[in-house]
Chains A and B, each alone.
Chain A
Amino acid sequence: MLTLVGNDQPGIVAKITNGLLNANCNLGEASMMRLGGNFTVMLMINSEHPSEDIRKAMQSTCDDMSLTLHIDQIRGRLHQHHIPDVRVVVSGSDRAGIVAQVSQLLFDAGMDILDLNSDVAGTNEAPIYIMQIEGLATQGIDSIEKAIDSLPKNIDVSVHPIETFVG
């Protein structure tokens, strides 16, 4: 798993992926996004070369763009997708502890989180927090709906079933 972070600037994806191609790496599943002015990459790569060789091959590209690169050996494989069956949307005034509070409740209610995205929006004076979580309701959606009832009223939470069909 290649992890990369640095100030957002044009060309990061093109330069990094071309560097990896030249280092004989195959790319797998990836998550790349801008977070608070940084560009972040989590990327599965497959290579016959040791990770230290890949890191060396990428060093000058990363130095040129002031990017921090990290590589971990993982056992990841392709075709390991789970299909989420529930989406939870959380919003409210930004304050410390929302994620901890909500995620603990969801965990206790049997939700296995597959994907979580959150943003802080609003204004500097009145920031708001918006979070979208997708996952598996291992104890059913009712269990999650029941659990969120105990959240304070200043946090808005909605639970939506995701019905995926195959056709």
Chain B
Amino acid sequence: MAKKTILTYPNKDLKLTSAEVKSFDNDLLAFIQDLEDTMADGPGAVGIAAPQVGHAIRAVIVDVSNRKKIKHHGHLVLINPQITQWDGLATGREGCLSVPDYTGNVVRAKNITLEALDQFGEKHQYEMEGYEARVAQHEIDHLDGLLFLDRLVSRHHDLFERKVYKK
């Protein structure tokens, strides 16, 4: 058990583009465990990305299994994740461990197809929808140096310009 320190905005390391993971070794497993412990220590966090603890590699954890009545894939370790398909748009409210005491509205794709490796290097494909898809997009944004602050839309109006969601 090793909880790591979470970097908070405006720490410039949150803006880095993370590097692809190439070695699936014990160091990676140990790091993922630390990331897990850090997320579990947060206030009800359902996801975390490696750069949030200052390690700029393409690794995230998504776990929305504590939410009732939604479709999800349970606890997921996503290494080198890639969103290969997007469909639909929805506005939702997001917060971030790296931006304490603030939540804001963000537009995300409703449904995504995601390809990723797990922590052992095995390839998986996931069809995600709704809440889980939103969390995955938020975490993957971290790997490209993007925070939800970069995607805020009006707090006061549901209507927004239609834009195609791109990474």
Contact = CB atoms under 8 A, between A and B. Distances in A.
Interface of A: 79, 81, 83-84, 89, 115, 117, 132, 162-167
Given A89-B158, A117-B156, A132-B158, A166 B42 contact: yes
Contacts of B67: 163
A145 to B, nearest CB: 15
Counting contact residues on chain B (CB < 8 A from A), the size range is 20 to 34
> SS class of chain B's interface: helix, strand, loop or mixed?
mixed
A115 B158 contact: no
Interface string B136-167: 00110000000000000001111000000000
Contacts of B43: 166
Contacts, number: 58
22 contacts: A89-B158, A132-B156, A132-B157, A162-B92, A162-B93, A163-B92, A164-B92, A165-B46, A165-B64, A165-B95, A165-B138, A166-B42, A166-B43, A166-B44, A166-B45, A166-B46, A166-B96, A166-B97, A167-B45, A167-B48, A167-B95, A167-B97
A83 B95 contact: yes
Contacts of B103: 81, 83, 164
A111 B11 CA distance: 37
A98 B120 CA distance: 59
Given A89-B158, A117-B156, A165 B101 contact: no
A162 B134 CA distance: 13
B131 interface: yes
Contact of B47 (A81, A89, A165): A165
B102 A165 contact: no
A163 B131 contact: yes
Nearest to A78: B101
B152 to A, nearest CB: 14
Interface string B71-106: 000000000000000000000111111000111000
A167 B97 CA distance: 6
B135 interface: yes
Nearest to B95: A166
Given A165-B64, A167-B49, 9 more contacts: A81-B101, A81-B102, A117-B157, A162-B93, A163-B92, A164-B95, A165-B94, A167-B46, A167-B94
> Which 8 A-B residue pairings sit nearest by Cβ, starting from the closest?
A167-B47, A164-B93, A166-B95, A167-B138, A166-B45, A117-B156, A165-B46, A79-B101
Nearest to B48: A167
B131 A165 contact: yes
Contacts of A132: 156-158
A163 B101 contact: no
A8 B158 CA distance: 24
A132 B105 CA distance: 14
B85 to A, nearest CB: 21
Contacts of B135: 165, 167
